[in-house]
């Protein structure tokens, strides 16, 4: 066989264009793949290869046919894994029983290639497979076997054991699940999980040391097959600084993410970005915590699918930032993103997930997509069940396709504002879209509720004054309301005060003495005596 004088692959940077070490067009393999799956010859390894090669001309096609057959006909031998005496690794035995451990997969692959006239080597080394723990060291002899094949003038790597499926952590159950990723994997990606005993077989320049392999981040095949490109930090063990740790992921296209820190997503703040996500973690107890990050494609057909675990970190926390206890109503991801944009909330005034307000007031605006109706809920972070106080403390104003959400907080603290929407033309219910965290540290803040709005108060009406739903007693109060399509407006207190129409606004004063509440009524038609209530204010008690 030829010696190792083939050109090496540059390890860094991996050019991110392909996961393969040579151009592979999977569409062109469809017929060959289907043929290889159907071949059912168990008489001898020679006969099997002969049958497979009927449809394969080039070395690449031969290797592909052998790979496809092994990945769909040999299952991982969980009994043999635990019990050496029952292990069969000879190619003919593996073929007869249809079972083996990695040693047998790699041996069978090597023998089938040899019969097919393709150079192939069985490689051994350490792998980050089932049971791998972050930061562990590898000692003693190698624990895994795979192959290198020589095609079109250079060596390429593959692992048919991992291409076939996976075992659970205790290696008691094997599940067939074909994985394309481990066929001719680019060496710069293969080194994530496979460390050969002979470092030449990394096929990389420069090569990694075992120490570097042990401390490097584990990027699994799901990470790459979902189009994720990189993550930061690039080391799997992270220390918190002042109780906080941050992780970010870069990806090619819009991707949905979730995370679990010690099994919950309550102690973090995740935001989706156009090309990835950012996550700030605030563990609420010291010690070592496991952080898992999951992802899935945002394409419509993938939405029903489950999330795949793509990254794992260990977060070492020395001190806890108690101030960063997030409200239990907060939903990940936080803040606006391509996801809320896709649902019709364009050009948000606040792009960040947290809105800090010093005086307890803030105003959010969006441009709405076509035919969208909006609903909000506001939740204070309390110990008890949190009720929705948005009716009293959030005011919606629609101006054309612009919506404004005015928020007046009743007190200091953390609040979650959830935003829902539905198509106007839809009779159905509203769907949750996204949420913000609103924080106010100023303990003097105490905004009264907005006035109560009735169903005849249209969403494009606007209160210019008074915005407070609680009016001072025994005072003249100025009213200025933007309303259209009505003939007459009255403010009813102890007495009744008409408002006058002026440039789209209805204006006037009313005196609050002698009454507990003040209502605004409108006549929709000058000839009718019938009127509707649109607003109600309370008056301060003496």
Domain ranges of the chain: 26-212, 224-317, 338-450, 453-539
Instruction: Name the pTM for this structure.
Output: 0.86
Kindly tell me if the per-residue pLDDT of 483 is higher than 80: yes
**What pLDDT does 387 receive?**
79
**What pLDDT does 168 receive?**
87
| Domain covering 26-212, topology | C8orf32 fold (3.10.620)
CATH number of 338-450: 2.60.40.10
Which of these ranges, 12-21, 44-53, 276-285, 327-336, has the smallest mean pLDDT? 12-21
Q: Which of 506, 500, 510 is nearest to 537 (CA)?
A: 510
**What pLDDT does 14 receive?**
59
Kindly tell me if the per-residue pLDDT of 158 is higher than 60: yes
CA–CA dist 136, 237 (Å, integer)? 11
CA–CA dist 149, 157 (Å, integer)? 6
Cβ atoms of residues 340 and 434 within 8 Å? yes
CA–CA dist 22, 18 (Å, integer)? 8
3-state helix, strand, coil in the chain (%, to 5): 20, 40, 40
- 360 dihedral zone (left: phi>0; alpha: psi -120 to 50; beta): left
If you ran DSSP here, which 8-state letter would residue 286 be given? S
Residue 11: band (very low, low, confident or very high) from pLDDT cuts 50, 70, 90 = low
Tell me: the pLDDT tens digits for 464-474? 999 999 999 99
Q: How far is CA 427 from CA 25, 112, 422, in A?
A: 48, 63, 9
Cβ atoms of residues 287 and 210 within 8 Å? no
Cβ atoms of residues 106 and 161 within 8 Å? yes
CA–CA dist 170, 353 (Å, integer)? 41
Kindly tell me if the per-residue pLDDT of 503 is higher than 60: yes
Please, which residues have CB within 8 angstroms of residue 14's CB and are 6 or more apart in sequence?
Answer: 186, 188, 189
CA–CA dist 2, 393 (Å, integer)? 77
Cβ atoms of residues 159 and 146 within 8 Å? yes
Mean pLDDT along residues 505-509 = 96
Tokens encoding 528? 């009718």
Cβ atoms of residues 531 and 492 within 8 Å? no
Kindly tell me if the per-residue pLDDT of 2 is higher than 50: no
Q: Can you list the positions of beta strands (E) in 102-242?
A: 120-127, 144-151, 154-158, 165-167, 174-176, 183-185, 194-196, 204-205, 228-232, 237-239
**What pLDDT does 385 receive?**
59
Kindly tell me if the per-residue pLDDT of 302 is higher than 80: no
CA–CA dist 113, 160 (Å, integer)? 13
Residue 206 preceded by cis peptide, ω within 30: yes
Please state which of the four CATH numbers 2.60.220, 2.60.40, 2.60.120, 3.40.50 is assigned to the domain occupying 453-539: 2.60.40
As a whole number, the mean pLDDT across the chain is 92
Tokens encoding 253? 């296209």
CA–CA dist 141, 125 (Å, integer)? 8
Residue 525: band (very low, low, confident or very high) from pLDDT cuts 50, 70, 90 = confident
224-317 and 338-450, same CATH topology:
yes
Sort 429 into a burial class: Cβ within 10 Å, 0-12 / 13-18 / 19+: exposed
**What pLDDT does 124 receive?**
97
Which of these ranges, 7-21, 352-366, 375-389, has the smallest mean pLDDT? 7-21
Tell me: the pLDDT tens digits for 63-92? 999 999 999 999 999 999 998 888 888 999
**Domain 224-317 classified CATH 2.60.40.10?**
yes
Residues annotated as catalytic (active site), given as ranges: 102, 144, 159
Mean pLDDT along residues 98-102 = 93
Tokens encoding 513? 């003495």
Cβ atoms of residues 326 and 414 within 8 Å? yes
């Amino acid at each position: 066989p030829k010696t190792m004088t083939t050109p090496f692959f540059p390890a860094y940077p991996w050019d991110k264009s392909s996961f393969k070490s040579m151009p592979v067009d999977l569409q062109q393999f469809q017929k060959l793949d289907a043929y290889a799956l159907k071949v059912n010859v168990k008489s001898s390894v020679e006969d099997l290869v002969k049958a497979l090669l009927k449809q394969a001309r080039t070395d690449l096609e031969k290797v592909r046919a052998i790979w496809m057959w092994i990945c769909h006909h040999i299952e991982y031998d969980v009994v043999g894994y635990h019990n050496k005496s029952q292990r069969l690794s000879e190619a003919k035995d593996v073929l007869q029983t249809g079972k083996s451990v990695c040693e047998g997969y790699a041996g069978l692959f090597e023998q089938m290639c040899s019969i097919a006239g393709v150079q192939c080597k069985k490689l051994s080394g350490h792998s980050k497979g089932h049971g791998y723990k972050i930061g562990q060291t590898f000692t003693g002899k190698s624990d895994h076997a795979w192959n290198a094949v020589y095609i079109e003038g250079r060596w390429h790597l593959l692992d048919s054991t991992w291409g076939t499926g996976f075992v659970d952590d205790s290696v008691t159950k094997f599940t067939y699940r074909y994985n394309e990723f481990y066929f001719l994997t680019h060496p710069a990606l293969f080194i994530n999980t496979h460390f050969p005993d002979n470092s030449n077989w990394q096929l990389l320049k420069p090569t990694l040391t075992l120490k570097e392999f042990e401390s490097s981040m584990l990027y699994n095949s799901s990470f790459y097959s979902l189009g994720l490109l990189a993550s930061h930090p690039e080391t799997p063990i992270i220390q918190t600084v002042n109780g906080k740790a941050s992780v970010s992921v870069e990806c090619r296209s819009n991707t949905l993410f979730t995370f679990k820190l010690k099994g919950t997503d309550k102690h973090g703040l995740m935001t989706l970005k156009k090309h990835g996500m950012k996550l700030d973690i605030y563990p609420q107890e010291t010690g070592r915590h496991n952080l898992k990050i999951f992802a899935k494609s945002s394409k419509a057909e993938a939405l029903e699918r489950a999330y795949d675990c793509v990254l794992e970190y260990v977060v070492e926390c020395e001190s806890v930032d108690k101030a960063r206890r997030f409200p239990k109503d907060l939903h990940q991801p936080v803040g606006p993103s391509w996801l809320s944009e896709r649902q019709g909330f364009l050009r948000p005034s606040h792009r960040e997930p947290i809105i800090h307000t010093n005086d307890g007031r803030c105003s959010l605006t969006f441009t709405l997509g076509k035919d969208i109706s909006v609903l909000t809920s506001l939740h204070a972070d309390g110990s008890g069940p949190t009720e929705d106080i948005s009716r009293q403390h959030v005011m919606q104003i629609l101006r054309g396709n612009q919506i404004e959400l005015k928020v007046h907080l009743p007190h200091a603290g953390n609040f979650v504002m959830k935003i829902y929407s539905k198509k106007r033309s839809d009779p159905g219910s509203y769907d949750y879209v996204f949420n913000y965290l609103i924080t106010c540290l100023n303990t003097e803040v105490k905004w009264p509720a907005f006035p109560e709005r009735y169903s005849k108060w249209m969403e494009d009406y606007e209160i210019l004054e008074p915005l407070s739903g609680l009016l001072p007693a025994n005072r003249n109060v100025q009213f200025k309301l933007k309303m259209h399509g009505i003939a007459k407006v009255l403010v009813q207190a102890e007495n009744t005060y008409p408002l006058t129409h002026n440039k789209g606004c209805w204006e006037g004063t009313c005196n609050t003495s002698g009454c507990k509440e003040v209502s605004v009524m409108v006549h929709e038609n000058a000839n009718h005596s019938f009127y509707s209530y649109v607003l109600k204010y309370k008056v301060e008690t003496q």
